[in-house]
Structures are given as structure tokens and as C-alpha cells.
Homo-oligomer: A and B are copies of this chain.
């Protein structure tokens, strides 16, 4: 068996790997680049599938689907590849159901859920605290965050238990954790949560459909096109599908990459698959133990995504936006749905069964799961929900060479002890994938950023001349992991100065007392809160 020789081999033909290949090619067209992919398609955690719809068939995303205007890396790529975005539809009543099966189903129209005044105030004080902490996080090197050790020694659950006042808010935050990470709040470090939010520009940016948020736009024709068009540019002859990498060895001269049937030699390797899959590759010599400990502490989330097509968007006719938020205690299998009507006008809803609900419902028969989904949709949107054209779902935990979605989180202690190994190359091996990004990590934009960063690292080794002085300086800067952490208040467990805590508490308690007797004050208070949130977001990086 003679080994093929390449300059660079990329493991994984997702958005990160293909972005890396694309940049390498742009900088040095002579570089021989090979991309090895286990799946039989490109796109990684993005996949666009045709399903029956009102007007024949149409395309929907069963993986990553949203982008936002602050996600500069993916937005630039979309433009470069000649693709178009369209906004997430969010006009009309949103449904909100929390607090047990017998609790009242509420509707609301703003970006703030239909919470009771007390819970709304609880949310306000908690978001204020978390956003204050977020602003102190050093994403590049979270161990430099003030009080990092303490923030990383507790789970997100512990922080919520300590700082949320109401059971309703705690349920709400569990839902947020499931929706964003496919994980329960007990399963991740609080510092990781802060870092993730900081990399997105704030907590609300993770949750909303508003300008600059994570759910702002969708891509016409689907997100998998990004990877397909990148593969067009890189050349499909350089992409080998169905070629899972099982081993990587390296010596003073070469790196060797092995699949079930072939061996390839190259000068540099970029591994882009998520950490739990990167951990399954056999490395020779073995990776530094700190890198092994890193991947042992990065479990992946669990999401089942479903798309349901309808003859018409009956919810719009009934003045619903299609957005439903439902807590685990309600018996509803999904945590959130949105309108998913295609740019061609084919009516559809998209929903997510996530975290432990995905584990529970994923173990049931499809028919039982589907029945539970429709039963809840009928409850929230009316009997029309039962008359659909097609129901299609994807359980990412069962996808080969994925094993979970949307992202790998970090267990407590990881950021304190093993974080330097996240992006640090191991000899000829460089690490990409959205988990290694510093802007919008966990999102498609992060995947692009990480791929491009790894490509620059490789260029510095195999084609030094292709880099500008600024890029070389930047690489140097990244590898020494220097990034200015915002100055935080200097004392107190969670950097919330005592006087401000008291002020916030007094403010919210006073408001509760007022509101208990004057229901009409509520709407004014809500408007005021929305201004507060909006201002907070704008101010976040000015703090």
C-alpha cells in the first residue's frame, strides 16, 4: 500500500474544515489539500433536506439553521458565496407554558416571555447579575476572568439555585439551557456558560430572534449550501466522503492519517470534528495528557429537531407567530418551536426536543414521540395543527460521526485546568471546530472563525509567505493567549458589589409590592424592562 502525499489534510468536511481549506487555497492555490469526512455528505452539523410541502417539495435545515448580523465570520462567508438570508418570522402571539400541566398557557408579543410580574423581576435581577459577570469574562483565556476558579467550580445549576428567587425562573432557565446547549444546567461549568454568552455578545443574544441575536436570519435554500459551495471552490476531488479517520501519527518529517482503507502523508493536519469524536482518533505518539483530559471533560449535547409542513400557515391566520416555549413540567416533549415557512411560501413549523427530554423521548418509538408533539401543538395552536402534510425529525445523537448536537459543553474545572490545550497545536496537528472559536463559539460563525484561524496557523508552517505581518502577529498573540479582561469590581464572591445588590433587590421588591395591587402598572413596567434589556445589550461592551 503506497501512501498518497498531500500538503495539508483536514479531518471533517463541516463548515470549519471547509472554511480552513478555502482560506488555504485562497492564500496559496498550489497547496495540495485533502479533506477526509466520515459521513457520506459535507456539512457536519448542518444538513438541508427536501421534504414534502404545500407546493410539492421544499428544503429545510435539520441542523444549524440560524445566523445573525453580529456573526461576522459567517455573514461574510454567506456574501462571498452569493447566498441570501431572510429574517426569522416572529410577528404575532407567542405561546408560553411553564409550571406544570395544569398551569395557564399564556401568550405574549414582545421578546420578553409572558412571565408573572414577580418572575419578570426575578429575571431582571438575574440577567443584570449575569450580564455584569459576562462583561468581565476573558473569552480568549477564561482563566483570566476575575474569580475564574470559583465561577468554574460550580455548575450553571448551582448559580441559578443561588441567585434565582422563583421556581418559575429556574424552570425557564432550564429550558434556555436545553434550547441553547441540548444540556441541563447541572451538566456545565458556570464559567463556561458565561464564556459562551460573552462570545455571543451577551445572554439574550443566545436566546432571541431580534437584530444581532442568534436566531435573526435563515439562509435561503439551507445552511448546508455553505459547505457545498465551499467544496465547489476547494474542489470536490479534494473531498473524500465515507472516509472516517481512525488514526494520526507524526514524526519529525511527516504526519500520517489513516482511514479504514487508506493512509495519507502530509505536513500538517487540521482536526475539526467535535472534541468527543477527536478523542476517538488514535494518536501516535499519544497526545499530551492535558489534551486528553480536555476532551474527557467536554460532553456533547443532545437535540432532536423536527420540521412539520402544512398546507397553510394556520397559526399566522390566528395571529400566532409560531413560537412556543414549554417547560418540562408541562408534559410537552419539545422545549421550543418557531415558524419555519420557507422563502417559497411553504408553511412549516420547526421544533426542538432537547437535553434530557431528548434522551427520554429519543428512547420512544417515532409514532409515540410524534403523537406527543402533535398533542402539544394542538393544545397550543389549535386543532388545525393535527392536519399536516409531513413530519420529519432528526435525532443527532443517532447520527454517525456526530453523536450529539449542537455543541460540546465544558464540565466544571476544565476552563481552570485544561483550557490552554483547546487550541494549542500538538506538533503537526491543529485544532478547529466551533468549540475552539472565540466569537460565537458553538455556532456556524464560530466554526468558520475556528477553521480560518487553524488555516492561518498551518500557513505559518507550510507557506509562511502567504501571511501578512499582522496575521503573524495575531497568531503569536493568540498562542500566548493574551487578551485584556475587562476590569471587574474587585471583591465579593460574584463581583456584585453589595450596595448594588441591595439597590436592585429593593427596586424589584418595591415594584412587586406596587404591582401586586396595581395590575395596570404592569404593562408600563414591562415596557420599562424592555428598554432596560435593550440598553443593557447596547451597553454590554461599553461597561
Q: Identify which of B154, B187, B276, B282 contacts A158 (C-beta below 8 A).
A: B154
- Check A293/B404 contact, CB under 8 A, given A157-B153, A417-B359: yes
Residues of B within 8 A of A161 (CB): 150, 153
Chain A, residues 142-163, CB within 8 Å of chain B (1/0): the string is 0000000110111101100100
Residues of B within 8 A of A276 (CB): 279, 292, 296
By Cβ-Cβ distance, the 5 closest A-B pairs, closest first, are A153-B186, A289-B397, A296-B299, A187-B413, A153-B157
Question: B155 contacts A416, CB within 8 Å?
Answer: no
Residues of B within 8 A of A292 (CB): 276, 397, 403-404
Question: A186 contacts B152, CB within 8 Å?
Answer: yes
A279 to chain B, nearest CB (A): 7
- Check A286/B400 contact, CB under 8 A, given A296-B276, A412-B187: yes
Chain A, 148-198, CB within 8 A of any chain B CB: 149-150, 152-155, 157-158, 161, 184-187
- Check A299/B289 contact, CB under 8 A, given A154-B155, A412-B186: no
- Check A290/B359 contact, CB under 8 A, given A155-B155, A246-B282, A296-B300: yes
Residue total for A at the interface (Cβ-Cβ under 8 A): 43
Complex: how many Å from CA A487 to CA B298? 35
Chain A, 287-312, CB within 8 A of any chain B CB: 289-290, 292-293, 296-300, 302
Q: Is A318 an interface residue (CB 8 A)?
A: no
Residues of B within 8 A of A413 (CB): 155, 184, 186-187
A157 to chain B, nearest CB (A): 4
CB closest chain-B residue, reference A276 = B296
Q: Identify which of B152, B293, B302 contacts A293 (C-beta below 8 A).
A: B302
Complex: how many Å from CA A359 to CA B418? 9
Q: Is A270 an interface residue (CB 8 A)?
A: no
Residues of B within 8 A of A404 (CB): 289, 292-293
- Check A302/B282 contact, CB under 8 A, given A153-B185, A412-B187: no
CB closest chain-B residue, reference A244 = B282
